[in-house]
Each structure stands twice: as C-alpha cells, then as structure tokens.
Amino acid sequence: MNAIRRRFQPEQIRELVLLLLIVGIVLFFGTQIENYFSARTFNRISTSVAVIAVVAVGQTLVVLTRNIDLSVGSIVGFTAYVVGTQLTQHNELAPLTVVLMAVGVGAVLGAINGIIVAYGRVPAIITTLGTLAIYRTILVQISGANSVVTNELPQWLIDVPRINVWSFGDLDIRFLFMLAIVVVIVFQLVVSYLPWGRRLYAIGSNPDAARIAGFPAQRIVFMAFVMSGALAGLAGFMFLARFGNITVVAGQGIELESVAAVVVGGVSTNGGIGSPFGAFLGAILIDVLQNSLIRWLAISEFWRDALLGLLILLAVATDTVIMNRLRKLWVPHELQISDSTAVKQGGVDHAG
Amino acid sequence: MLANLTKALRRWEGLLLLLLILVVAFNAARTPGYLTVNNWVNMFELSIEKIIVALIMTFIIINAEIDLSVASVMGFSACLMGYLFSTGMPMPAALAAGLSAGVLAGLFNSFWIGIVGMPSLVVTLAGLIGFRGLAYVLLEDRSIGDFPQWFDNLGQQPLIGPIPFAMILFFVMLVLAIIILQYSGFGRYVYVIGNKKEVARYAGVKVERTKMILFVASSTIAAVAGLLYAARLGAVRGDLANGFELDIITMVLLGGVSIFGGTGSLYGVLLSILIILNLRNGMSLANWSGHMQTGVIGVLLILSVLIPNLAGNAQAILRRRRAVSSQPTPSTQ
C-alpha cells in the first residue's frame, strides 16, 4: 500500500479510473448493441471527438489557473469563418499557411482575453462572457450574413477529414484524430515537465502563495489564455475542414462542451488539479456515452443534451465522493486526527 | 457640496446613475416620443422576463454562487406547460405543472449543491445543458400555440392603465427583494456567506440551507418568467429563452455585484437594468441589429470592471509619487 502511495497520486488514479470506465462502457455496449464493435463506430466517435478535444486541452490550461474561458466557441466560429473566406478568395494558399493563420487568429483573440484578465484584473468569467458576445458580434458584422460554402473551398481541404494516417483493417486513424492526439501529448508533456506548465498548477492551487514565491503570475495566466485561443483557432481550422459550410453561428455551444469535457475529465474548477490527458478522456467518455445510449435505447437525437447534462452531474458527483475517500487514504493517520480536532476547535490547521 | 458629489460618484451606484442620465438624455434628444409612458412600458415589456430573473440572480451571486441554468429552466417549464396543454390538459393544470417543474428543477440543483457539495458552476452548467435538453425531448422541433385567450391576454394586454401584468409583478417582486436582501436577517446571511463561507458556518449560519433556499427560489422564479414569456409570445418552442442567462448575469454584474460574492446591492442592479433597457431601446431606435446590441453590452460589461481597476491603479501610482516628492530627504532602506 505504501509503495502504491509513493508511486501514484490520487489524481493519476483518477485518470486510470476514467480509462477503465471508458473500456467498461464500451464492453458493456458491445454486448447490448449489434455491430457495436465495428470500424464505423470507432471512426464516427474519433472524428467527432477531435475538434472538442483540442478545445478542451486549451480550456484545461486556463482552468488549471483557476480561470475559465467561455469565449472559445466564438473563437472557433470566428477563425473557421475568417480562414474559410480567405481560402475561397485565395484558393492557392498553402495548407501550412492556412493552419498557421487559424492558430494566429485564435492566439490574437486569446491574447485580448489574457490582457484583460491578467493585466486588467477583470475576473475571467466576466471577461470571456463579454468577449463571447463581442467576437460573435464582430463576426456577424464582417460577414454581412454571407456563409462559407464547401464547393468554393479548395479540394485539399475537403479531403482533410478523409485522410488516414494508419489503417488497421477497416479501422482508420484519421488525420484529424491524430492531430488531436498530438496536441494532447504535447500539452501533457508541457504541463508535466516545463516550468511554465508546473507554474500553472502552482498558481491555480494558491494564487497568493505563487505570487509571494515570485512567479510572474500575470504573464503565466496571460499565456494560458493565448494558448487556449490558439488551440481554439486550430480547432476552428479542423471545424472548417470537417463541415465545409460555415455560417455565422458556427461553433456556438462549444464553450459549454469543452467545459463539460474538462470537468468530467477531472480538472477542478478551483484550479490546480487535472491534466490535458484527463480532459481528453473526458471528451471521449461523453461522446462514447452519448453515441451509445442513443443507439442502445433507440431514442431520438433530441435526448442528446438531456443525457449530457445528467452525465456531467453523475461524473462529477462520483468524482467528488470517490476522490475525497482516496485523498483520505493518502493522508497519514495522525494528520487526519489532528485535522479533525483543528476543525472542531474552529482553528486553522497547523498540523503539517 | 462638491466633495459630497465626488464622493457619491466614487461609489458604484453614483457612477451608474450618471451613466443612466447620460443614456436617457442622449436618447431623449435624438428621438421624439422617447420619454412617453408607452415607450417606457414597451421597453420594460421587451425584457421583463430577464429582469424578473435578474432579481433572484442578484441574491445568488452575492452569495458567491452562480445559476447558469435559469434560461433552460424557463424553456423547460414553458415547454412542459405547452406539451401538457397540447395533450388536452386544461390550462390552469398545465400552468401548475410548469410551475412545479421549476420547483423540482430547483430542488434538483440544490440537492447536488447543498447536500452532495458540488460547485454550483458545475451543477448549473449541467442544468443549462440538461433542462434545455428536456425541453427539446418534450417538443422536439414542434411549436405549440393556440393557448386560451385569457392566457395570451395576460402576456399581451395591459392590466392596469397601460401597465401589463408582468410589469406589476416585477415591481412587487422588486420591493419584496429589496426588503429581504437589504433589510432582513436572511439577507444578512446571504451577504455573510458570500463574504466568507467558513466564517459564516462557525458563526452558526446554516450555510447549506440558505444556499438551497436560494436555488429553489431561483428555478421557481425562472419558471414563472418562462410561463410569462410563453404568454407574451403566444407560443412555445424548444429554444424558448435560449441564451438569456448571459444577459441576466450581465445585468447583475454591471450593477456592481462582485462575481466573488459578498458585495453589491439591489439598488445597483436596478440602475444597471435601467441602463441596459435604455441602451437597447436607443440602439433599436437607431436600427442597430440585435447582435450588435449584444456586442455593445459585452463591451460595457468588461469596461464596467476594467475602468475602476485601471483608475485604482492610476490613483495608487499618483499617491506613491506624491509620497515620494513630499519627502525632503528620501531615505534608503
């Protein structure tokens, strides 16, 4: 037991639990639904999860610092539309330029959020609630009610969602899914090993302590918003490639889906706990459950959101209960006792 | 006199009052017939459901919580009412069912927040998605109308003089809310919990019970607002009141209520409601699109916190400079 305690933290076990949960759910539905273990199921879920996973990774970085980014849906729509119109006017643009443009536009919008939150000291929920409306308004104004349509886009972009990186029999690892996985791995490494990544946790766990310890807290939070915007921009490109037709309402609601993925993936809204990999698992869990439940119960598509709401609640509730148990296991016995006496006396915990 | 005036302006409410006067004066100068009773009634009527819910949202945010699910509860209770009416249930029973749906939604939210102990942001985010989902489950993509004439009249015709029922209800609720929040013991609890939950608990305040009461009240009032909205529109659809939560929260935050709880007042919120109503009305009269209006209010929301922060920074710098220059021999410590 002690060896396990030293080896793992409760938070890592949480990710393991999520992974096991996903496997368990897939196995369960495999016995319930005919032809469930088909390449089609896998391909459908993997393509639909890719866009939201990329946004969720960016959202994780922001939520780790005890902030929130509600403007990502508008950023996805904004970049998808702007990049789409550029492509219809300049069909000859190179793919890499297009991706960089999308990431750049997203990063600029994220930087605006970051400046207002980190340097203007406006709470993140107020800032991004405002920019959620503002970015969408700008998009509506510049679009003049036109849409991007698929047949004006260059052929290579339309082919992007169908590119296979690998195929095992019928099972395809699509390019967009691969891109999402790369993003998850890169940012998992960043938050695990780079000083900037570690400091995200420090700031989220205790902003005051981080400031006193001399971390450039403002710059780190600012960069978290820039990254979130940049990733939302990348997701905007993926959105454009996947759907082709982009109207001014594109991407609406992605902010909520990304927060849902992050929360189900075990990232705490109080900051300091969670990881990009967890958020990725959260996005997969939500998508798998939604897709499977609708097929299993043979209910209409209209149940999707009702189920999603319930799933988020149950996931977070089990998490709250289980994680509290687990954390108690990790705290040495004597500390627990002094902890509870401290609480009874109404004093602060000096037992450390 | 002048000192008093500057002191009043420093306070948030003073600043809002100044802004309100400017907006009204600007609109009145531009548009003849702006200051008529009919235009003002019309102005209130167009947003009456939102401002009713903004009253209870003020309580919740001062309590350092948030309820993102209000607009979805509005949609859900109105859709349930519409669905039951379309299956042949008499109107009063359908209305009662819609209202109880709101109470149940509130109990559901407060169970997870007060008893399980989950953050309200997460619970009501799930509610925002889930209750809207239930509204779609009930009505799918249909629209239900043809309600009894008395119900449509309730939402569309004036009740006393030029004033419709919903507006009377709003002012009654406003007075009640001010009494409860600013002058009653319960209101003190709401502030104390919002300031420091732990301190409130040690002082013997029933923190969880207060929160649960607020969330049940919030969903119940949202259900009332949803039914009023249905009466005004004369029809219900799955997307009824979609996205209203943002407008409602904006009204409260612009009113000087801190998102971290503990500060703000209903007077500030009332002023901010009046500002937003007049601003929207003025922009509509100037033919600005609804999207544009939302964008302007988004800018206003950010500026309302940003400008005082920047002003505070500038003041701090000035004070430091003055302190340095007033010292004849700067000491090196």
Q: What is the mean pLDDT of residues B68-89?
A: 96
Q: What is the mean pLDDT of chain A?
A: 85
Q: What is the mean pLDDT of residues B268-294?
A: 90
Residue A333's pLDDT is 52
Among B127, B129, B310, select the one facing A120 at the smallest CB separation: B310
Q: How far is CA B281 from CA A73, B29, B156, B171, B184, in A?
A: 28, 14, 19, 20, 35
Chain B residues in contact with A259 (beta carbon < 8 A) = 125
Rounded distance, CA A48 to CA A54, Å? 11
Residue A3's pLDDT is 66
The DSSP result for A110-123, as a single string, is HHHHHIIIIIT---
| Closest CA in chain B for residue A127 | B302
Nearest to B94 by CA among B226, B275, B290: B226
Residue A61's pLDDT is 97
Residue B9's pLDDT is 57
Return the percent helix, strand and coil in chain B, to nearest 5: 75, 5, 20
- 3-class SS of residue A23: helix
What percentage of residues in chain B have a pLDDT greater than 90?
61
Among A120, A122, A320, select the one facing B118 at the smallest CB separation: A320
Residue A16's pLDDT is 84
Surface-to-core class of residue B4, CB atoms within 10 Å of its CB (0-12 exposed, 13-18 middle, 19+ buried): exposed
Q: What angle do CA A337, A340, A341 make, to 5 degrees?
A: 85
Q: What is the mean pLDDT of residues A306-313?
A: 84
The per-residue pLDDT for range B312-329, each reduced to its tens digit, is 788 888 888 888 777 655
Q: What is the mean pLDDT of residues A205-211?
A: 87
How much is the pTM?
A: 0.84
Rounded distance, CA A238 to CA A236, Å? 5
User: Sign of the CA dihedral B30, B157, B218, A66?
Assistant: negative
Q: Are B301 and A129 inside 8 Å of each other by CB?
A: yes
Q: What is the mean pLDDT of residues A280-303?
A: 84
Residue B13's pLDDT is 82
Return the percent helix, strand and coil in chain A, to nearest 5: 75, 5, 20
Residue A5's pLDDT is 64
Q: Name residues whose C-beta falls within 8 Å of residue A11's C-beta, 6 or more positions apart in sequence.
A: A266, A273, A274, A275, A278
CB B136 within 8 A of CB B78: no
What percentage of residues in chain A have a pLDDT greater than 90?
42
Chain B residues in contact with A136 (beta carbon < 8 A) = 291, 294-295
**Is residue A315's pLDDT more than 80?**
no
CA A103 to chain centroid:
16
The 3 state secondary structure assigned to B169-232 is HHHHHHHHHHHHHHHCHHHHHHHHHHHCHHHHHHCCCCHHHHHHHHHHHHHHHHHHHHHHHHHH
Cβ of residue A342 closer than 8 Å to a chain B Cβ: no
CB B116 within 8 A of CB A316: no
CB A251 within 8 A of CB A239: yes
More confident residue, B198 or B108: B108
Chain A residues in contact with B129 (beta carbon < 8 A) = 256, 260, 305, 308-309, 312
CB B253 within 8 A of CB B66: no
Cβ of residue B140 closer than 8 Å to a chain A Cβ: yes
**Is residue A344's pLDDT more than 50?**
no
What percentage of residues in chain A have a pLDDT greater than 70?
90
Rounded distance, CA B77 to CA B85, Å? 12
More confident residue, A352 or B258: B258
Rounded distance, CA B268 to CA B80, Å? 35
The per-residue pLDDT for range B50-68, each reduced to its tens digit, is 999 999 999 999 999 999 9
CB A185 within 8 A of CB A56: no
Residue A170's pLDDT is 72
- What are the boundaries of each domain within chain B? 2-293
Rounded distance, CA B102 to CA B56, Å? 14
The per-residue pLDDT for range B115-135, each reduced to its tens digit, is 988 889 889 989 998 999 999
Residue A4's pLDDT is 64
Residue A208's pLDDT is 86
Residue to substitute from B60, B129, B288, interface A, most A β-carbons within 10 A: B129
Nearest to B295 by CA among A106, A71, A14, A20: A71
**Is residue A10's pLDDT more than 70?**
no
**Is residue A339's pLDDT more than 70?**
no
Give the ranges where A144-206 is alpha helix by DSSP (H).
Answer: 155-159, 175-193, 195-205
Among A122, A132, A259, select the one facing B305 at the smallest CB separation: A122
**Residue A37 pLDDT class (50, 70, 90 cuts):** confident
User: Token pair for residue B190?
Assistant: 């709401």
Rounded distance, CA A258 to CA A58, Å? 9
**Residue A341 pLDDT class (50, 70, 90 cuts):** very low
Query: Any idea which residue has 């015709």 for tokens?
Result: B157
Residue A8's pLDDT is 65
Query: Any idea which residue has 């709880």 for tokens?
Result: B261
Q: Which of A178-187, B218-227, B301-310 has the lowest mean pLDDT?
A: B301-310
A2-343 CATH fold: ABC transporter involved in vitamin B12 uptake, BtuC (1.10.3470)
Chain A residues in contact with B246 (beta carbon < 8 A) = 129, 132-133
User: Token pair for residue B217?
Assistant: 């009240």
CB A271 within 8 A of CB A203: yes
Rounded distance, CA A34 to CA A334, Å? 54
Q: What angle do CA A310, A313, A316 make, to 5 degrees?
A: 145
User: Sign of the CA dihedral A201, A176, A309, B59?
Assistant: positive
Nearest to A148 by CA among A162, A158, A138: A158
CB A317 within 8 A of CB A265: no
**Residue A286 pLDDT class (50, 70, 90 cuts):** confident
The per-residue pLDDT for range A215-262, each reduced to its tens digit, is 899 999 999 999 999 999 999 999 999 998 899 889 988 988 899 899
**Is residue B112's pLDDT more than 50?**
yes
- What are the boundaries of each domain within chain A? 2-343
- DSSP structure class, residue A244: -
Residue A338's pLDDT is 43
Considering the domain B2-293, what is its CATH architecture? Answer: Orthogonal Bundle (1.10)
Q: Are B305 and A307 inside 8 Å of each other by CB?
A: no
